[in-house]
Amino acid sequence: MRSSISAGARFLDRDEVLRSLRRISEQLLQDDLEVQGVALFGSLARGDYSLRSDADILVCLRSSPEEKVADRIPPLLAAFLEAPVPVDVLPLTASEICQRLQDPSPFWSRISREAILLAGTLPWCPESTRCSRLGT
């Protein structure tokens, strides 16, 4: 279910990728009332990406009928099929994100520092473009 980069590509245009991901994220926000916010994290957000990098996307949901995170992925991943790079989606509810941030692992600490808001809002960055944990 991942898209592929063309064999002739020699560089990744990060600005173009971000524009495309923002457009897709804004459309997802309009189409799915459960989506509260969408953010990019990982190498593309940090700027240390390579030609083979994927887009790591955190989708914040207001709620979800699916208890298992893995069951939430397919419909959200489908929204990103037209993305110019392969996409991995991490769909969590706002309360699940807040729980993880209360006792942050290095993974969550990094996400809260490096995430770039693509659309909507997230529990720790209601109106910023580059997210940072509240109170820091």
Return the CATH number at 95.
3.30.460.10
Nearest CA among 133, 8, 125, 128 for reference residue 60: 125
Confidence of residue 109 (pLDDT cuts 50, 70, 90): confident
Say yes or no to pLDDT of 73 above 90. yes
- Let me know if residue 132 belongs to a domain: no
Does 136 reside within a domain?
no
pLDDT of residue 69: 92
Average pLDDT of span 47-61: 92
Say if residues 62 and 93 touch (Cβ distance below 8 Å). yes
Q: Is the pTM of this model over 0.75?
A: yes
Q: Would the CA dihedral through 30, 35, 39, 41 be positive or negative?
A: negative
In a domain, 6, yes or no: no
Question: Is residue 129 situated within a structural domain?
Answer: no
> In whole angstroms, what is the distance from residue 75 CA to residue 117 CA?
20
Residue 26, domain member (yes or no): yes
**How many domains does the structure of the chain reveal?**
1
Q: Give the domain extent around 59.
A: 14-120
**Does some domain include residue 2?**
no
